[in-house]
Structure 1
Amino acid sequence: MLLPLLLLLTATEPGHAEQVKGTKKADDSCVCKVNTTMWAFPAQPFEKADQMVQNCGDTLQKLQNQVTQTNGELPKIQAIIKNVTARIEPLKYLDTKGIYNALHLRQLSQDLEEISQMINTAHNDNPSAETQKLTKEVVKVQEEVKNMFKDNVFNLETMREKLRSLHNRVQSCRTIPDDFRSHCYKRIMKNISSPVTTKLNPHSKSYISGAWGREAKRESEDVYWTQPLANSHKYGIQVRLYRSYEDFMASKNHRDENVAPGYTAPNAIQGPGMVLYGGVVYYQCYNEDELCRYDLQSKETKRLKLPNAGINNKFPYCYYSCRDWTDIDLSADEQGLWVIYATESNHGNIVLSRLDTETFNITHTWKTRLFKKSVTNAFMVCGVLYATRYADTYREEVFYAFDTDTGHEDNTLSLPLEKVSAGVASLSYNPIDMKLYMYNDGYLLAYQALF
């Protein structure tokens, strides 16, 4: 017997009911056949969803671990960024005025016109094969610059390098005096002796920065001198003079000469770049891009502007460890008096100018490709600029030379220079005895230059 039965079965949706028929047996039991496939539990989709949930949980945990690790590393990263920012700060000028800024064509034309005028003057004063060659070259370069105004593709930096080379060659044509070669027939040093003088400065061991040497002009009074820097190793007002080498070694019979009334006086000495030449003290004036000239006899001071020179630790000697207040350095040799410095327009590379000591003016200027902050110190010998670099605590190395006669640069030198401490405040050459004088963290050292 078939009886209709209403079975309320829970379906996949709430409130869904299904009606089925059953069979009643003799024992009053009921047998029904129900198709349950439509209500089968979705195991596979559930397992897939469960796996996705598990994967999301793992990914979230991994992300949380990464965030925790990053939070731990963040202070270190911030410290590195701060350090790099501080190191880049002194070189910010490069971004707007230096090597990464394309040169203006009009300025390029003006520079070329100045070089052309110098070549014409040099050729009229002293005609030679070199001046004739320079005249032809400058005409060719002028034509190239004219084409640069028309072309869309050109390399201003390459042209600037051409002008730098032409400029240096013109300076060399105008500079070498008639008797220069007789004093310097061997132009490049071959070696440097071990120290022939080693002495602690006579003032105090605390004076780790300063300069010393011997009167550098021939036929002048034979005087040895020391000039310590006080007030944070930056300023000086006094030069100590000795009448003989014996007095200097014994630290007796000296005379102290004050070039300024105080450390912040306009004529005070800044930095260890001083030199004594012809009875006159030459040095950088206090806090200015100017040279001071103090006459030991007349007690008079004259000043000379050094155009565009970087000062106040903009371009100090800085290889391995920066030596503060060394932006402007004076040096004497067989050819006369020189000033070594750097400018933004030459991208922080060393600029070398020759001084006329009689008129106290700059007569000639060369531009090198040697970054001033990449050397420990520099000095002049026979019209050749030499630069040193740090080797270790007890040794420097002369590695670079720039010849003002030829304009040739050589960075393959390897001349060792012994020292007793790491820091080099000043290093200068004396053309009378052909010795190098170093102020080495308060110690005074002298060496024999060998040719």
Structure 2
Amino acid sequence: MKLYVIVPLCALITFTQQAPSRDKCVCEFTNSERPFPHDKLSAAEDNASRCNTNITPQKTLELESLLLGLERRLPRLQEDVSILEREDDGELYGVISLQVIENELLEIMQLMDKLNSTTLEHQHLTTNATKQLEDLKAEMDELETFDTMQVVKRQRENQLLKSNLTKCRDKRPTMQPSQPPYGNCPRGQFRNITGPWKFIEGEYPGSHKYGAWGRDPKPEAGKESWHWLVMLTSGNKYSNYVRLYSSLSALIVGQSTPGNVEISPSNPTDNTIQGPNVVMYRGALYYNCYNQDEVCRFNLTSKTVTNIKLPKGTRYNSKGNFCHLEKCYPFTDLDLATDESGIWVIYTTNQDFGNLVLSKLEDDEQFRLGQTWHTSVNKQGVTNTFMVCGVLYATRFIDKETEEIFYSFDTTTGVERLNLGIFIKKMYPNILSLNYSPVDQMLHAYCDSYMVSYKVLFS
């Protein structure tokens, strides 16, 4: 008896006829394709994952921040040297200016060292990444030879087709957006902060835990370099004066001119300061009036106080504080802020169930409350707020070394963001007030009786 085996032709497999036995038929299966190297694919995936871990957008941002910091610091140093050359009397102010210049030179050298080390690190990273990418490309080219059905090639052609289709759609005329971009800032969007750049103990190091300091964004003529300081002196709750300094150098060494400008001879009393969230604008001090749901404006020239009442239901007298999980900061119900566009007040009301409320203060002769915005973030989950270019930013406590700028609200578009992820390196655990200065784009923080400043970076 003869046995006939009919086998279809196939490119991938072949059959070999065996000598038949009397009881059964056996066929041998042979795969003509090479076995796929799964170990090489796994190794390539691991290498690509490590490459993605080593090269991140944050590394580029770090280098950009260092370059921008150096670009901003060098003109400032040149300006300080020029001032020293003009005012050098060989005595007190010359020594003070030299000390400031020496500190700035030291900071610039540290910045350059950091820049050099970061650049060298990036060069090594680039060299290693280039070699890894070349190796990965060679491995993937080899692995692609196993794709006899050309699936990868077809996928690549489809991706190219989709890309060309997207470009074709983008060339069609489109309507301009009805809303302007995020914020309204001539320098671009707020991206990050660096520092701390300055750390000042002041005249009373370790004393007056609560307070605020900064610069007037719209100073009177001749007072462009002046700095102001408010320290809460009565149980870290109240104050009745503001202290002025003719320059940063004077603030560093504690030479106050003209000294204390009193709002009232007694403390606390009507129209004196309650809480640390204080700002100065156009020669006037803005703050929470003592025992009132009102904002006070104290004119330093005329020594007069003007009040404006906030909406009904505004929380005050330490009923609407900034907080974190471990504590609340007393008498921080009202937070005053300045930016490029003017002066603002941040607070909360019973009607808003504790959520942040933002109002513009119109500082004309009438001193009135302007437009108001309502947000969705609760004030007790916030430790501080500040304004930059019409955008409200809020911070929260991470740990004793770190504060996070996590939230923003754009008054132009009404857009809220809850995932900013901009971190502040703290010198002391608590930031008790935070003021942005559009004059020099610095963020001035008052931290447990010490004054610290950070540089704001824009895109």
Which of 352, 369, 385 in structure 2 is aligned with 1:378? Answer: 385
* Within-5 A mapping of 1:236-385: 236-254=239-257, 255-307=259-311, 308-320=313-325, 321-358=327-364, 359-385=366-392
CA contact (8 A) 1:218 1:432 kept: no
State the match for 2:438 in structure 1: 431
Letter in 1 for 2:273: I
Cα distance, 1:228 vs structure 2:
0.4
Shift of 1:445: 0.3
Counterpart of 1:247 in structure 2: which amino acid?
A
Is 2:283–2:301's contact at 8 Å kept on the other side of the alignment? yes
Percent identity for Structure 1 against Structure 2: 41
Q: Is the 8 A contact 2:240 2:268 kept in 1?
A: no
Post-superposition offset of 1:206: 2.5
Residue by residue, what CA displacement relative to the aligned partner does 1:294-333 show, whole Å, maximum 9, x if unpaired?
1111111111101232011211000232111100010000
Query: Counterparts of 2:265 and 2:308 in 1: how far apart (Å)?
Result: 20
Given that 1:396 and 1:419 are in contact with CA atoms closer than 8 Å, whether structure 2 keeps it comes out as: yes
Could you tell me which residue of structure 2 aligns to residue 226 of structure 1?
229
Structure 1: distance between partners of 2:321 and 2:419:
23
Question: 1:203 touches 1:228 (CA, 8 Å); kept in 2?
Answer: no
Q: Residue 405 in 1 paired to residue 412 in 2?
A: yes
How far the C-alpha of 1:185 sits from its partner, in A, is: 5.5
1:202 Cα deviation after fit: 2.1
Residue-by-residue CA offset, 1:137-186 (whole Å, 9 max, x unaligned): xxxxxxxxxxxxxxxxxxxxxxxxxxxxxxxxxxx99xx9xxx94x4352
Alpha carbons 2:213, 2:230 under 8 Å: kept = yes
Amino acid at match of 2:369: I
Q: 1:347 is matched by which residue type in structure 2?
A: F
Question: What is the TM-score when the length of structure 2 is the normalising length?
Answer: 0.57
The SS at the match of 1:247 is helix
Cα deviation, residue 416, structure 1 = 1.0
Partner SS, residue 329 of structure 2: coil
Contact 2:292–2:316 (CA under 8 A) maintained in structure 1: yes
CA distance in 2, matches of 1:253, 1:268: 21
1:73 alignment partner in structure 2: none
Superposed, which structure 2 residues align to 1:71-82 within 5 Å?
Answer: none
Structure 2 distance, partners of 1:201, 1:392, is 25
Query: In structure 2, how many angstroms separate the alpha carbons of the residues matched to 1:238 and 1:219?
Result: 19
In structure 1, runs of 5+ residues without a counterpart are: 1-171
Q: Distance in 1 between matches of 2:220 and 2:411?
A: 25
1:112 is matched with which residue?
none
- The structure with more radius of gyration: 1
Q: What secondary structure, in the 3-state scheme, does the structure 1 residue paired with 2:403 have?
A: strand
Structure 2: unaligned runs, 5 residues or longer:
1-177
Kept in 2, the 8 Å contact 1:340–1:353? The answer is yes
SS for the counterpart of 2:350 is coil
Q: Deviations 1:208-253 (Å, cap 9, x if unpaired)?
A: 1010111122665222011000222100011110111111112114
Residue matched to 2:98: none
The whole-number CA distance in structure 1 between the counterparts of 2:187 and 2:412 is 12
Write out per-residue CA displacement over residues 238-294 of structure 1, whole angstroms, 9 at most, x where no aligned residue. Answer: 111011111111211432111122112101100011101000011111010011111
Partner of 2:210: 209
Q: Give the distance between the partners of 1:435 and 1:204, measured in 2 at CA.
A: 22
**Does the aligned pair in 1 maintain the 2:275–2:332 contact within 8 Å?**
yes
Q: Is the 8 A contact 1:323 1:424 kept in 2?
A: no
**RMSD of Structure 2 on Structure 1 (CA):** 1.8
Q: Which amino acid aligns with 2:291?
A: N
Aligned length: 273
Please state whether the residue corresponding to 1:190 is helix, strand or coil.
strand
Provide the secondary structure at the position in 1 that maps to 2:317. Answer: coil
**TM-score, structure 1 as length reference:** 0.58
AA of the residue aligned to 2:241: Q
Paired residue secondary structure (2:332): coil
Question: What amino acid sits opposite 1:338 in the alignment?
Answer: W
Residues in 2 aligned to 1:436 and 1:245: alpha-carbon distance in whole angstroms: 15
Partner letter of residue 245 of structure 2?
Y
Secondary structure of 1:195's counterpart equals: strand
2:18 is matched with none
Partner amino acid, structure 1, of 2:323: C
User: Aligned AA for 2:348?
Assistant: A
Q: Cα 1:201–1:319, aligned 2, differ >3 Å: closer, same or farther?
A: farther
